[in-house]
Structure 1
Amino acid sequence: MDQKQLHQQAAQDPEAFWGAAAKDIRWIREPTQVLDRAADQHTSPGWRWFPDGQLNTCANCVDRHVDEGHGDRTALIWDSTVAQAQRRMTYAQLLVEVNHAAHMLREEGLRKGDAVIIYMPMIPEAVVAMLACARLGAVHSVVFGGFAPAELAKRITDCAPTFIIAANCGREPKREINYLALLRTAIAQSGLTPKKKIYYFRPFGPTDLQPGEASWDELIQNHLAGRASVTVAPEPMAASDPLYLLYTSGSTGVPKGVVREHGPNAVQLRWTMQHVFGMRPGDVFFAASDIGWVVGHSFIVYGPLLSGLTTVLFEGKPTYPNAGVFWRIVRDYGVHTLYTAPTALRAVKREDPEGELIPQNAMPTLRNIFLVGERTDPDTILHFQDRLQIPLRDTFWQTETGSIVASSMAMPAGQTATTPIPGVAGLPVPGWDVVVLDETTGQPYPRPTTPGATTPVGNLAVRTPLPPGAFPTLWRNHAGYMASYFKKFPGFYDLSDAGIMDADGRISVLARTDDLINTAGHRLSTGGMEEIVAGHPAIAECAVVGIRDELKGEVPICFAVFKRVTPTAPTAPGSTAAAATDGDEEAVRVALQKKVRAEMGAFACFTHVYFVHNLPKTRSGKVLRRTLRAICNGQAYQIPPTIEDDHVLVEIETLVRRHNQGQAASKL
């Protein structure tokens, strides 16, 4: 069995396909119907998975493994390079902690259907809090730890949480972040007063409690009342009940609360871990992301635990204390699959360009590296494949989809894995009927029949109904859900990404649709140009955006980062000095312009290349192309709340301003 055959099975008979997958879930009441297509019975767009099923996600993540005799298996490994601490928890130990937390929350008044904001760093207590909410039937909304008060306040206002659970602080390599100060400001700005504010205090950081606030540990001990343990029965949940809501700014910049359901999410993630990632119970899975993002929800917490894996919870940075930290974790814990962002690997490559920190013959367990978050340039993939001698597999999906839309699946043992092609997202995953739409007609382009041919660049979309695990609505905003995702192309879910499909059915994601540029009538992919630039031996990473041009409409410009930065001259905040390099900047600039001209065409030639120390990114590793475009076009913009380092923008603004002044002076 291979990926194409599985995809065909899911397309021909989705009820049989997902009904079989649902057998791997422990149901309180097994569903008698897999897919209800009665549109008149459900809110538009009109379908429901496992409509009469009942289950509890927490029980499937923890209790069932203990009940089946695997309580001694390691459930979670916490490794914090910033706190210099590690911790292991078995499934039995995790069950005890989740019961204690659920008991405390219930005694404090948390009930089924209540909303809870969780504002914590990458610590085990955050996972326990998520599972405790799921056990009680409360709807958790995890907000990335350290989020600025204004953005956190927006989420509090929209979510209207009954409880807020937070940690006192987070840590980064060079600073400590006072979460309590940020949270208190956000609550005041929101104008809402949650019923309970419960804080977990780490061994460091602020220790003060204000009226109306309570300590997580003290409340647990108080409600245990001297007992060694307590048991809280998992709340029976309808398959369609919300498990969590997760905010995404999406393409509009306005936070949208993506809702995920208990039943479809459990079925999809358990199937995905086995088939897409090729994982087996007891394997070790390391998703180097954050629980504040969808990758953390699906592939740090719920996916691995539903599947009886060991999940690695990493608090740190990919290059701290050095660029070998990922490989150290893989070696020490026997990791079978690493899941990370291309930007993380590019940062590792930039700090360790020759791969000297990759331990030779010391990571025998590592079978695959999967990538998520940004289109991966072939140069980065080949760099690590050559050194590790294992496949690097791209994945394409979104917060809204909840699971992977396209990839080269690793498949279970005994089945045929899909061979990845660098620069290509992969084949559609079973359940996802992906098409490339003509933006003018709204109709799918036919798949080419000639090997090597592709469709024209178009809008990537998915035929409905969407598979289990995809979001059924936005929190308290179903009208916005329909308008944002289903209005533009009726009958399809709009992925808002531009791409192509080849004769084999493989998907290449080229850019967000608003990142495509039109130069003198040529529709250009910024992702394609970035791939060309990243292939230059001097370049570590890059971003291409379009700027206005009176003659051509738009023209591309490039921001590039050299592979090596002089260690004795670190970038200071606001520095305008170009990144140090072994070569000459002007020579590389000319070489890049010639390279793009030769490989894409003269019409795609850059007007300018800026060499910078770092690209502006979100904390999840996505490059802020919209912000770069605004700076280059002289437009007003807001600093995105998810930005990793806003000092990067100071350097870029200064370079762009000086270049524009020089251009203006040359015309005088």
Structure 2
Amino acid sequence: MASESTECPPEIMNANDHLFILYTSGSTGSPKGLIHAQAGYLQHAMMAHKFVFDYCPGDIYACVADVGWITGHSFVVYGPLCNGATSILFESVPTYPDPGRYWEMVERLKVNQIYLAPTALRLLLKSGDTFVKKYDRSSLRTLGCVGEPLNHEAWEWYHDVVGDKRCDLVDTWWQTETGAICISPRPSAPNAEIRHGPMRPFFGINPQLLNEEKQEIQGNNVSGALCIKQPWPGLARTIYGNHKRFIATYLKDFPGYYSTGDGAHRDADGYYHITGRMDDVINVTGHRLGTAEVEDAMDEHEAVAETAVVGFPHDIKGEGVYAYVILKDGITDPEDKITSELNT
């Protein structure tokens, strides 16, 4: 081996050659092997990492997602490495050996940006503030979140406790199919206020809200199906071995648009708020209730760490609302009292 060359010339690839196949979780049907291509995906992941997280040369960046998911692909591997960033690989779970695992890592490695999921936040929130405050988090500059709508209580805990009310909090929306972040509070004007919920389109993304008649909903303070009007570089090219399914899943429901399957609200200022999956709705006596909206309301209770809401058949109302509730550690109030308060 000593006589072998240490040089390994890179393979020259075309822009639309396949880069990888990544299967979705199957939560909305059988898993789909989505194919992302070389140049467009890499450009989108690189740009999103740089501008959404305000990455600067020399920063220490930590996305704690598993690399087997698209978040890990785009924001542990491809995006950061395209920017020459130091990207931290996280293994195990955020509660081992204790719920301070993330924040110990931040102190030890002087992390500047961290990207995690609302599920992890609510899990850590359950354990209180002590495990956060025992570690120095002064190196943090940007707090990122992805995976599902971030409820108000978790947003405030992340911003106020973890970020000491001084870090940008970028709650992001995107999908395995989109390749990288499509809607986010950043990039924006320097020193612009970041509030809970509102997001704006990323470069090259043209989101539109459509009604049941498949027409664009004009103006602000409106809600509808979230679609994207024009192609963008990071969009998956096809489903492996089944292009007909790709068209039927993403392009057929709203011809001329990419259908995300999510609902959204465009507020009075023109910012977007993700309301959850369009098919994740409970119909109670004709009233369509989004499960994420009910969960967010219940999570406001001071004793509640996390809520999961599902529908169940009801002889009179058509569907009823059933909630699974996890309480914070150390709660001593009787369950009957908390249940009564949540029901009202």
Bin the TM-score by the shorter chain: over 0.9
Instruction: Summarize the Cα distance change of 1:417–1:309 in structure 2 as closer, same or farther, 3 Å threshold.
Output: farther
Letter in 1 for 2:225: N
Indicate the residue corresponding to 1:396 in structure 2.
Answer: 173
Indicate the residue corresponding to 1:467 in structure 2.
Answer: 232
Indicate the residue corresponding to 1:274 in structure 2.
Answer: 50
Q: CA offset at residue 421 of structure 1? A: 2.3
Cα distance in 2, alignment partners of residues 229 and 385 from structure 1: 51
Alpha-carbon contact 2:187-2:202 (below 8 Å) kept: no
Letter in 2 for 1:559: Y
| 1:230-241 correspondence runs (5 A) | 230-241=6-17
Cα distance in 2, alignment partners of residues 330 and 479 from structure 1: 45
Indicate the residue corresponding to 1:497 in structure 2.
Answer: 262
Task: Select between 554-563 and 290-299 the one with higher mean Cα deviation.
Answer: 554-563
Cα distance in 2, alignment partners of residues 560 and 312 from structure 1: 33
Cα distance in 1, alignment partners of residues 191 and 177 from structure 2: 26
Which of 120, 126, 131 is residue 350 of structure 1 equivalent to?
126
Deviations 1:515-544 (A, max 9, x none): 112211212111111111001010000011
Indicate the residue corresponding to 1:593 in structure 2.
Answer: 343
Deviations 1:557-581 (A, max 9, x none): 111001116xxxxxxxxxxxxxxx4
Indicate the residue corresponding to 1:87 in structure 2.
Answer: none
| 1:385 aligns to 2:159 (yes or no) | yes
Deviations 1:91-148 (A, max 9, x none): xxxxxxxxxxxxxxxxxxxxxxxxxxxxxxxxxxxxxxxxxxxxxxxxxxxxxxxxxx
Cα distance in 1, alignment partners of residues 334 and 3 from structure 2: 70
| 1:583 aligns to 2:318 (yes or no) | no
Letter in 2 for 1:391: D
Cα distance in 2, alignment partners of residues 553 and 437 from structure 1: 27
Letter in 1 for 2:58: G
Indicate the residue corresponding to 2:79 in structure 1.
Answer: 303
Letter in 2 for 1:455: V
Instruction: Summarize the Cα distance change of 1:447–1:312 in structure 2 as closer, same or farther, 3 Å threshold.
Output: same
Letter in 1 for 2:241: R
**Normalising to structure 2: TM-score of the pair?**
0.94
Indicate the residue corresponding to 1:444 in structure 2.
Answer: 216
Cα distance in 2, alignment partners of residues 228 and 331 from structure 1: 43
Which of 206, 211, 215 is residue 433 of structure 1 equivalent to?
206
Alpha-carbon contact 2:107-2:135 (below 8 Å) kept: no
| 1:205-604 correspondence runs (5 A) | 225-226=1-2, 230-351=6-127, 353=128, 355-359=129-133, 362-387=136-161, 388-389=164-165, 390-410=167-187, 415-416=189-190, 418-422=192-196, 424=197, 426-439=199-212, 441-448=213-220, 454-456=221-223, 458-464=224-230, 466-564=231-329, 581-594=331-344
Alpha-carbon contact 1:408-1:417 (below 8 Å) kept: no
Q: CA offset at residue 512 of structure 1? A: 0.9
Bigger relative contact order (CA 8 A; separation at least 6): 2
Cα distance in 2, alignment partners of residues 445 and 332 from structure 1: 49
SS in structure 2 at match of 1:315: coil
Please list every run of at least 4 consecutive aligned residues from structure 1 whose deviation after the TM superposition is greater than 6 angstroms: none
Deviations 1:305-360 (A, max 9, x none): 10011000011111111111111111111111000001111111112x1x112246
Q: CA offset at residue 295 of structure 1? A: 0.5
Larger radius of gyration: 1
SS in structure 2 at match of 1:243: strand
Cα distance in 1, alignment partners of residues 62 and 9 from structure 2: 30
Q: CA offset at residue 514 of structure 1? A: 1.2
Identity of aligned pairs, percent? Answer: 35
Letter in 2 for 1:264: G
Aligned residues: 341
SS in structure 2 at match of 1:311: strand
RMSD across aligned C-alpha pairs, in angstroms? Answer: 1.7
Alpha-carbon contact 2:61-2:113 (below 8 Å) kept: yes
SS in structure 2 at match of 1:278: coil
Cα distance in 2, alignment partners of residues 496 and 418 from structure 1: 30
Q: CA offset at residue 486 of structure 1? A: 0.5
Deviations 1:346-387 (A, max 9, x none): 111112x1x112246822220011101121111011123222
SS in structure 2 at match of 1:398: coil
**Normalising to structure 1: TM-score of the pair?**
0.49
Question: Higher strand share goes to which structure?
Answer: 2
Indicate the residue corresponding to 1:110 in structure 2.
Answer: none
Structure 2, unmatched stretches of 5+, are none
Question: Higher helix share goes to which structure?
Answer: 1
Cα distance in 1, alignment partners of residues 36 and 97 from structure 2: 36
Cα distance in 1, alignment partners of residues 43 and 304 from structure 2: 42
Cα distance in 2, alignment partners of residues 342 and 356 from structure 1: 19
Structure 1, unmatched stretches of 5+, are 1-224, 449-453, 566-580, 595-668
Cα distance in 1, alignment partners of residues 103 and 114 from structure 2: 10
Alpha-carbon contact 1:286-1:338 (below 8 Å) kept: yes
